[in-house]
A and B are shown apart, each in its own frame.
Chain A
Amino acid sequence: MTEAAHLPMREVVRRAGALPGVRPRRFVPLLLPMWAVDVVATVREAHPYDVFDRYLSRAVAEAGLTRPAELAAFFGVEPALVIRTARFLERIGHLRRDGDELTLTELGHQSIKDGRRYLLTRGRRITLRFDGRGGEPVPYAHATHAVWLSEPVLELPDGTVFAPVGPARPLPSNAVELLLDRPDVADFTGPAVPVEVAAAEPRPVWLPVYAVECEDGPLVFGWAVDGPDPYLLDVYRRHAGQSEAD
């Protein structure tokens, strides 16, 4: 496990040394305390529209056309095409049929607004990760391109030992709800955006990083970014501030 957990120290030394104007003084391998919450979610995934499903949805939303016969006449297509497309959109939850009347659901309206055909998938297991200091969600790139340790122990084959930076602060009980309410939620969850979740208890995890003390201030290196990572630097500073305060 330890072999692929992080870059070897010499690689980080090389990378930091290659940065113009940076004079490293000390390399400190650290384990940042974070939180992971495993949830079973209904996720919303975006797909590109085909041609007719998009125009049919738009006609219902924007042009006040709601009956298959008038939609077929408007588009100049066979009624069967409208009926089958409507059935498809109904099956994926974009349309609702009331007798001969078609109406867009909220998901259908949202899809038209964003120009993406959203599909809801239930029962998806995903892990949401949060900063152990402020309870802020971890960006998707960092959540997916980092090695997360379930124990605060890491020693690389070159002998580098990572030390934990204190314990995490308790995760706010509404951290998941706050994340789902964010307009930029996809930045933290990736393309499969959870819209409903059944959350479990958060569990502590540790993120290995190299804090590099330089003459002009610290830099932090992680897995997700090749060079110095501004997000991890921000997290590191919050933790460092906490440690000093403690």
Chain B
Amino acid sequence: MASTLVDLEQSPYRNEGFCAVLELAVAAARELGPGGDRARPPRDAGLDERVQREAILRLRSGATANPGLLPLLAEGRFAAFGADVPASLGEVGRALAVPDVFCLVATPGTARTRTVCEIVRSAAERGERVLLTAPTPPLVDAVIAALPDGATVIRTDQTGSGPGSIDAASAAVQQRILSRSQAAARALEPWLGDPSPATGWLRRLDTALTEAAEAQERAGRAAAHREATARAARDRLGAPLAALERELATAERAAAATAREVELLTAALRRAETSRLRRWRTGRPRTMLSDAVRRAAAARSALSRTRSAYEEGARDTRTAIENDSVVRAAAERAAFADLAARRALESAERSAHQLTRMLDGVLGRPDWTADHAGLTGFADRCRTLEPTLRGRAGLLREWRQRAARPSRQLHAELLRYADVIATSCLGAGRPEHADLEFDLVVVEDASRVPVPAALVPLVRARRAVLVGETGRPPLRDLESVRAWVSARCPAGTDAAELTALLTGSVFDRVAARAPEPNRAGLDHLPPVPERPGD
């Protein structure tokens, strides 16, 4: 059997007398016969005794999950609590709020089971690990049967692969893993292998982008060559047009000059006509204006003719350049190069679409633009992601292969991480529980559990809820215990304490000393409101 390593030299060595009486109580119980949990099925008495002794050893050495457990049991010293707890908090809220031990006084029945269920469910929902124990399996069954689905509940005293057993829980977890990870595995499949299909498409994208860049460069060169050829052709074929251009400039200047002359003469005539002294001398300017108007009309006419001739010449020159064989060849080459660049980019776009489909469902649909810069950025991103996604794909495949084969290797971790572990009190000391710790232990029907047996789950939890009833008969016949104590109790041992441990339950001991905030009587409080679906 596994044992817990404890260092007695390092621990605060307190309440030694109480621990010694506890040990003596375990030895006495062996001789006196079973106490409160007579109804439990027969077990290995030696194993039961060993797990109780181990729990006492942990208590004595301070190796308990709740460091205040020993003073609480030995001296009735509870942690400070209650000042900041609202009075309206019900028994479930208080059971979850106490820093050490809470006692729920309630007679067996549906209300008690429902309250225990609510405590266990609420604690599990808060992310706490709960150890649910009782002196007999049926009490555990009753609580578990009333727990809602969702939490991982494992019955460690359940043998075989029945419901709630570790085998069944393991199989259920494996099944859930396989079904839940199926979509992710399918989505990651293209990233699996070396080279993976995704890597293939990424290579195609890279190649297409390289080709597109080269084609784009070729297209640029071809366009430049086309422009240069056209310029050369213009120089070669454009001499007549240049002459026409010069004529046009001359005609424009002449038209502008005559128009200016008309303007000046018109202004002079207007000034003369408005002057009383010079009014009689307007004949000559009027004649000059008339001549100027004629010259301007002739210049405009000449300009119009010259412009028409120039435009016609320009058209002819353009046509001649376009029809020039060298220019046409250059233009065709440029057009082909441009087409090739567009096709290479389209090829890259197709690869990008494939990669987008492969990324969709793994990381969400990526955004990119269908130009060279956008596609290059997308390829860079895919290259960065590829090792991670390949790692994920490989890991998920291994994980699913691992989950697909039956294994007991998961058992230890399931016990370590399950929401609720349910077992009998002494079952909590089984070897596989050796290093398990819990946030909360709920001891159902604690009024039938002797202190040494209750220690087995109590040392493993930071907080505890003891559920029981008061006024129950002693766990053992008082007279027999007194007779044993008077005959066998070693000198110096607290006989009254030993008698109390042999006849009283953990619930009697703790509830009697618990301060008001640490205990609640279900029978005197309103019942827990039913949850929807109950």
* B416, CB-defined interface residue at 8 Å: yes
* A81, CB-defined interface residue at 8 Å: yes
A74 touches B392 (CB 8 A): yes
B391 touches A64 (CB 8 A): yes
> Closest Cβ of chain A: how far from B125's Cβ, in Å?
10
Measured CA separation A75–B397 after assembly (Å): 10
Q: Which residues of B sit under 8 angstroms from A77, Cβ to Cβ?
A: 173, 176-177, 180
Measured CA separation A77–B409 after assembly (Å): 16
* B419, CB-defined interface residue at 8 Å: yes
Interface size on A, residues (CB 8 A): 23
Measured CA separation A78–B391 after assembly (Å): 22
A84 touches B416 (CB 8 A): yes
* A85, CB-defined interface residue at 8 Å: yes
A62-B391, A84-B129, A85-B417 known; A50-B177 Cβ under 8 A: no
Q: Which residues of B sit under 8 angstroms from A94, Cβ to Cβ?
A: none
Which residue on A lies nearest to B385, using beta carbons? Answer: A64
Q: Which residues of B sit under 8 angstroms from A62, Cβ to Cβ?
A: 391-392, 395
> Closest Cβ of chain A: how far from B498's Cβ, in Å?
38
> Closest Cβ of chain B: how far from A64's Cβ, in Å?
4
Query: Which residue from B152, B181, B391 sits with its C-beta under 8 Å from A63?
Result: B391
Which residue on B lies nearest to A76, using beta carbons? Answer: B180
A85 touches B177 (CB 8 A): no
Within 72-101 of A, Cβ neighbours of B (below 8 Å) are at 73-78, 80-81, 83-85, 88
Which residue on A lies nearest to B182, using beta carbons? Answer: A76
Within 146-192 of B, Cβ neighbours of A (below 8 Å) are at 152, 173, 176-181, 184
A50-B409, A84-B416, A85-B413 known; A65-B177 Cβ under 8 A: no
Measured CA separation A80–B392 after assembly (Å): 21
> Closest Cβ of chain B: how far from A81's Cβ, in Å?
5
* B399, CB-defined interface residue at 8 Å: yes
> Closest Cβ of chain A: how far from B466's Cβ, in Å?
25
* B396, CB-defined interface residue at 8 Å: yes
Which segment of A16-24, A52-60, A157-165 sits at the interface?
A52-60
Q: Which residues of A sit under 8 angstroms from B269, Cβ to Cβ?
A: none
A51-B402, A76-B178, A83-B127 known; A65-B413 Cβ under 8 A: no
Over the window 150-171 of chain A, the binary record of Cβ atoms lying under 8 Å from chain B Cβ atoms (1 yes, 0 no) is 0000000000000000000000
A65 touches B392 (CB 8 A): yes
Q: Which residues of A sit under 8 angstroms from B391, Cβ to Cβ?
A: 62-64
B413 touches A52 (CB 8 A): yes
> Closest Cβ of chain A: how far from B518's Cβ, in Å?
28
> Closest Cβ of chain A: how far from B412's Cβ, in Å?
6
Which residue on A lies nearest to B407, using beta carbons? Answer: A51
* B388, CB-defined interface residue at 8 Å: yes
Measured CA separation A88–B436 after assembly (Å): 11
Measured CA separation A127–B184 after assembly (Å): 52
Within 371-396 of B, Cβ neighbours of A (below 8 Å) are at 388, 391-392, 395-396
Measured CA separation A212–B152 after assembly (Å): 68
Q: Which residues of A sit under 8 angstroms from B413, Cβ to Cβ?
A: 50-53, 85
Query: Which residue from B127, B399, B419 sits with its C-beta under 8 Å from A75?
Result: B399
Measured CA separation A78–B392 after assembly (Å): 19
> Closest Cβ of chain A: how far from B183's Cβ, in Å?
9
Q: Which residues of A sit under 8 angstroms from B392, Cβ to Cβ?
A: 59, 62-65, 74
* B237, CB-defined interface residue at 8 Å: no
Measured CA separation A45–B127 after assembly (Å): 31
Measured CA separation A62–B181 after assembly (Å): 18
> Closest Cβ of chain A: how far from B121's Cβ, in Å?
14
> Closest Cβ of chain B: how far from A101's Cβ, in Å?
16
* B314, CB-defined interface residue at 8 Å: no
Measured CA separation A84–B417 after assembly (Å): 6
B396 touches A74 (CB 8 A): yes
A58 touches B395 (CB 8 A): yes
Measured CA separation A59–B391 after assembly (Å): 8
> Closest Cβ of chain B: how far from A113's Cβ, in Å?
14
Q: Which residues of B sit under 8 angstroms from A73, Cβ to Cβ?
A: 180, 184
> Closest Cβ of chain A: how far from B481's Cβ, in Å?
43
Over the window 399-420 of chain B, the binary record of Cβ atoms lying under 8 Å from chain A Cβ atoms (1 yes, 0 no) is 1001000010110110011010
Q: Which residues of A sit under 8 angstroms from B179, Cβ to Cβ?
A: 76
A63 touches B388 (CB 8 A): yes
> Closest Cβ of chain A: how far from B196's Cβ, in Å?
15
Query: Which residue from B180, B399, B416 sits with its C-beta under 8 Å from A88?
Result: B416
A62-B395, A63-B392, A74-B396 known; A80-B417 Cβ under 8 A: yes
Which residue on B lies nearest to A84, using beta carbons? Answer: B417
Measured CA separation A76–B173 after assembly (Å): 9
A52 touches B410 (CB 8 A): yes
A59 touches B395 (CB 8 A): yes
B178 touches A63 (CB 8 A): no
Query: Which residue from A63, A64, A75 sits with its C-beta under 8 Å from B177?
Result: A75
Within 10-62 of A, Cβ neighbours of B (below 8 Å) are at 50-53, 55, 58-59, 62
Measured CA separation A51–B416 after assembly (Å): 12
B410 touches A74 (CB 8 A): no
B173 touches A80 (CB 8 A): no
Measured CA separation A63–B398 after assembly (Å): 13
Within 301-325 of B, Cβ neighbours of A (below 8 Å) are at none
Measured CA separation A18–B494 after assembly (Å): 68
Q: Which residues of A sit under 8 angstroms from B181, Cβ to Cβ?
A: 74-76
Q: Which residues of A sit under 8 angstroms from B410, Cβ to Cβ?
A: 50-52
Measured CA separation A55–B409 after assembly (Å): 13
B402 touches A78 (CB 8 A): no
Which residue on B lies nearest to A77, using beta carbons? Answer: B177
Which residue on A lies nearest to B388, using beta carbons? Answer: A64
A76 touches B177 (CB 8 A): yes
Q: Which residues of A sit under 8 angstroms from B409, Cβ to Cβ?
A: 50-51
> Closest Cβ of chain B: how far from A185's Cβ, in Å?
25
Q: Which residues of A sit under 8 angstroms from B395, Cβ to Cβ?
A: 55, 58-59, 62-63
A63-B395, A76-B180, A85-B417 known; A50-B412 Cβ under 8 A: yes
Q: Which residues of A sit under 8 angstroms from B173, Cβ to Cβ?
A: 77
A80 touches B419 (CB 8 A): yes
Q: Which residues of A sit under 8 angstroms from B176, Cβ to Cβ?
A: 76-77
Q: Which residues of B sit under 8 angstroms from A85, Cβ to Cβ?
A: 413, 417
Q: Which residues of B sit under 8 angstroms from A74, Cβ to Cβ?
A: 181, 184, 392, 396
> Closest Cβ of chain B: how far from A108's Cβ, in Å?
16
B184 touches A80 (CB 8 A): no
Give the interface of A toward B (CB within 8 A): 50-53, 55, 58-59, 62-65, 73-78, 80-81, 83-85, 88
Interface pairs (27), CB distance under 8 Å: A50-B409, A50-B410, A50-B412, A51-B402, A51-B409, A52-B410, A55-B395, A58-B395, A59-B395, A62-B392, A63-B388, A63-B395, A64-B388, A65-B392, A73-B180, A73-B184, A74-B184, A75-B181, A76-B176, A76-B177, A76-B180, A76-B181, A77-B176, A80-B417, A81-B152, A84-B416, A85-B417
Please name the 7 residue pairs, one residue from A and one from B, whose CB atoms are nearest each other, closest first: A76-B180, A76-B181, A63-B392, A62-B391, A64-B388, A84-B417, A76-B177
Please give 5 more A-B residue pairs, beta carbons under 8 A apart, in addition to A51-B409, A55-B395, A84-B416.
A58-B395, A64-B392, A65-B392, A75-B181, A84-B129
